[in-house]
Amino acid sequence: MKARVHIMLKDGVLDPQGEAVRHALGTLGFAGVTGVRQGKVIELDLSSTDKAAAEAEVKAMCEKLLANTVIEKYTVEIV
């Protein structure tokens, strides 16, 4: 079983990397882009066969290590 975790900065948290990408896109002629938020995706291979247990375990991983929950939000997808 695989899990996919999407991690993004919370709304209201400054995203300097996203702003740099937005600026670079503008200089390349993509003037219609008014905002960019950059995040990360983590894929995990899990040995669990129970979808609910796997989701709970991955959420615990996010809370303890994968995401900085003070400034980041995350979603877990079991695939």
Give the residue-averaged pLDDT of 1-29.
97
How many Å apart are CA 63 and CA 29, to the nearest integer? 40
> What pLDDT, on a 0 to 100 scale, did the predictor assign at position 26?
96
Angle at CA of residue 42, ends 65 and 39, nearest 5°: 90
DSSP state of 71: T
Q: Which two tokens stand for residue 47?
A: 């040995």
Give the residue-averaged pLDDT of 12-19.
97
Q: Which CATH class is domain 2-78?
A: alpha beta
> What pLDDT, on a 0 to 100 scale, did the predictor assign at position 65?
98
Q: Give the pTM.
A: 0.89
Domain layout of the chain by residue ranges: 2-78
> What pLDDT, on a 0 to 100 scale, did the predictor assign at position 62?
98
